[in-house]
């Protein structure tokens, strides 16, 4: 049973560019959430997708957007990259929005130069 998979694992961008990160949830899960984890910090909630809609959003600007596809996979897009966007971006899936338990992927390490 494949767990949560994310791609790419590492990427380097320059300020002002745009990035797209991808996530496939654990088999049987229909809810995907995205988190930003800065170095030495806990994960910060960006948003949650369920039934192809954004259900909840954390305190992140509109430069952060996402999408969920009919097969439950998801993308995170960040526009107009800033140096401060450098972080590990974690995707987590759960069997439903109200289950609470998160299964994380290995993350995508974004470096903005």
Partner 1 sequence: GENVEQHPSTLSVQEGDSAVIKCTYSDSASNYFPWYKQELGKRPQLIIDIRSNVGEKKDQRIAVTLNKTAKHFSLHITETQPEDSAVYFCAASLLSGGSYIPTFGRGTSLIVHP
Contact pattern from residue 45 through residue 84 relative to partner 1, giving x for each residue in contact according to CB under 8 A and a dash for the rest: x--x-x----xx-xx-------------------------
Residue 59, C-beta contacts closer than 8 angstroms, at least 6 positions apart = none
Q: How far is the CB of 22 from partner 1 (least distance, A)?
A: 16
Site for partner 1 in 85-104 (CB under 8 A): 90, 94, 97-104
How many Cβ atoms from other residues are within 10 Å of residue 4's Cβ? 21
Q: Which residues bind partner 1 (CB under 8 A)?
A: 4, 31, 40-45, 48, 50, 55-56, 58-59, 90, 94, 97-107
């Amino acid at each position: 049973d494949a767990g949560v998979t994310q791609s790419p694992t590492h990427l380097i961008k320059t300020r002002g560019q745009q990035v797209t990160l991808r996530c496939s949830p654990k088999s049987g899960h229909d809810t995907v959430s995205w988190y930003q984890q800065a170095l030495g910090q806990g994960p910060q909630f960006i948003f949650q997708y369920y039934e192809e809609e954004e259900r909840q959003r954390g305190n992140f600007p509109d430069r952060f957007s996402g999408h969920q596809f009919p097969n439950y996979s998801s993308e995170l897009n960040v526009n107009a990259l800033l140096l401060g966007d450098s972080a590990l971006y974690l995707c987590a899936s759960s069997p439903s929005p109200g289950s609470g338990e998160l299964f994380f992927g290995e993350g995508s390490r974004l470096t903005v130069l």
